[in-house]
Structure 1
Amino acid sequence: MANKKVKQAGKAAQTARTNPYVTRIIEDEDLRQNIVQAFESARDAYSRLNNGKSPTKQIFEDKKLQKHIRESADGVRNASVALYEAPKKRKSGGGGFGRVLLLGVVGGAVALALSEGLRKKVLDALFGAEEEFEYTSTTSSPSSTPTAGTTA
């Protein structure tokens, strides 16, 4: 019976060691201080609230009680933020597909900027080939027509 409980305790301890939250509490001094501060402030607020006076009146009028409640809330919030950040791990691989895509886009933009032939090919593929034509005027130039006010 005792041997079974020892094995269960050992298994629980091993599980706790691999838990990222427990590891963070063990390793992070600031997190432990936030937890202790939150606990002490909550204990102080409870003792002030439990002194026999009306709790409603104390909550609204007792400045020290309000201060203890505020400190307790701040400590709990800071501890929860620190614990929330604990299990985050950096992704392995470094986002390879995103990097390759970015490199391809930047490389393509540089190639288009530097190569006039490539620019023409891309524009032709997107909008079709340009039609080349020469402009010929169907009207005569104004210098070849006689003017009404001049005599020869």
Structure 2
Amino acid sequence: MANKKVKKAGQAAQSARSNPYVQRLIDDEDLRQSIVQSFESARDAYGRLSNGKSPAKQLFEDKKLQKHIRETAGGVRDASVALYEAPKKQKSGGGFGRVLLLGVVGGVVALAVSEGLRKKVLDALFGAEEEFEYTSTTSSPSSTPTAGTAA
């Protein structure tokens, strides 16, 4: 009978050891600290709630209780995010995306700095500007004949 219990405990330990959430809890110091802080805040909030006053009244009026509840919620949120967050993979340096981004940024800087390059790009996109002189084709109102005498 004792042998069955030992075997069952060994299987439970092996199962826990292979669980990624347990591994994350073991490896991540920030996660453990967040859990401890949220537990302490929850314990303090419970202590303030159990002093004999109306809990509904305390929730609305007790600022320290509200602070403890906020801290508890924040700690639980941080712990859950840290627990479900996948481990960060190291990316290799370089890559097509990085080269493309560098090219785009370099092009924008070159356009911002060089007036001649800006003119060439605008001419290529919209065509060259045509220069012209404006001459009026209308004459002054006193020299035009009146239209009322033709009838």
Q: Give the alignment's TM-score, normalised by structure 2.
A: 0.57
Q: Which runs of 5+ in 1 are unaligned?
A: 91-101, 103-152
Deviation, 1:85, is: 1.1
CA RMSD of aligned residues (A): 2.0
Runs of 4+ in structure 1 over 3 Å off = none
Identity of aligned residues (%): 79
* Aligned match of 2:6: 6
Q: Give the alignment's TM-score, normalised by structure 1.
A: 0.57
* Aligned match of 2:42: 42
* Aligned match of 1:71: 71
Work out the CA distance in 2 between the residues paired with 1:89 and 1:56.
43
* Aligned match of 1:18: 18
* Counterpart secondary structure, 1:32: helix
Work out the CA distance in 1 between the residues paired with 2:40 and 2:24.
21
Aligned residues: 93
Asked which structure has the greater CA Rg, the reply is: 1
Q: Which runs of 5+ in 2 are unaligned?
A: 90-95, 97-151
Q: 1:136-151 alignment to 2 at 5 Å?
A: none
* Counterpart secondary structure, 1:65: helix
Work out the CA distance in 1 between the residues paired with 2:85 and 2:6.
33
